[in-house]
Amino acid sequence: MAQLTIDNVNRILHDNNGQRINVLEDINFNVESGEFISIIGPSGCGKTTLLRLISGLDTPEQGQVTVDDKLITEPDVSRGYVFQHGSLFPWETIKENISSGLKAVDGHNYDKKLVNQYIELMGLKGFENAYPHQVSGGMAQRAALARSIVLKPELLLLDEPMGALDAFTRADVQDVIQRVWQQTKTTMILVTHDIDEAIYLGTRIIVMTPRPGRIKEIVTNPLEFPRNRTSDEFLQFRREIQDKLNFGVTE
């Protein structure tokens, strides 16, 4: 992928009473190949809707979403999607889950070496034959990530994949995602509520505001890799992002 372009996008939905909701208004940004974009904003500001538009699961009323000038109209294997609850198939083992997409695309001659490579990289060795209910939440999310990444997507969309994890497991999965991003150079877009997570992973951070869902600001992350969550620079940048989100300010 050379460039993803979100051009003047508006998305209107209706609530149960038929009231119109401007879920997204005037959304404009570009993503270059190899970037890691974090999208952060309060609940209901349209983050998931935006990710769905980029994946092709949804289409905007106005504006367009393109990859290398090609209009996105439906989901495509070149754009992976990892959900908050990884949605592994409960009836398949971890290895079968990771292989499932590859098998669907390449049949029985799928790249088994690649699957083993990711089992190793994701720290799932020894758990290949376990079923999702037999592994921890963090392992299940690492498996869900592996299932998407073995398909070598050009763009990986991460919809709060660490949202349901405890703080320790969350930090562990963040490190795994960062490692995979650095090794594969896959472009990634992460939706999160967690300011530290957005900063730890993102090369740019899109700050959104709700009702209507708009981009308030796109901030380039000044922190070098490897990043230290407790460094003065990190904490200072976090304060900057918190201010943009009016975090801690009650209306």
Ligand X SMILES: Nc1ncnc2c1ncn2[C@@H]1O[C@H](COP(=O)(O)OP(=O)(O)OP(=O)(O)O)[C@@H](O)[C@H]1O
Yes or no: say if 176 and 145 are a contact pair by the CB < 8 Å rule: yes
Q: Based on CB atoms, which residue is closest to ligand X, 21 or 164?
A: 21
CB of 3 to ligand X, least distance (A): 24
User: Within a 13 Å sphere around the CA of 88, how many CA atoms are in the beta-carbon half?
Assistant: 29
Q: Based on CB atoms, which residue is closest to ligand X, 214 or 227?
A: 214
Place of tokens 């922190």: 223
Q: Which of residues 2-61 bind ligand X (CB under 6 A)?
A: 13, 15, 21, 23, 41, 43-49
Site map (CB under 6 A) of ligand X, residues 146-165, x = contact: --------------------
CB of 96 to ligand X, least distance (A): 30
Q: Based on CB atoms, which residue is closest to ligand X, 82 or 122?
A: 82
Q: Based on CB atoms, which residue is closest to ligand X, 3 or 209?
A: 209
CB of 44 to ligand X, least distance (A): 4
Q: Based on CB atoms, which residue is closest to ligand X, 87 or 116?
A: 87
CB of 56 to ligand X, least distance (A): 16
Query: Which positions touch ligand X (CB under 6 A)?
Result: 13, 15, 21, 23, 41, 43-49, 193
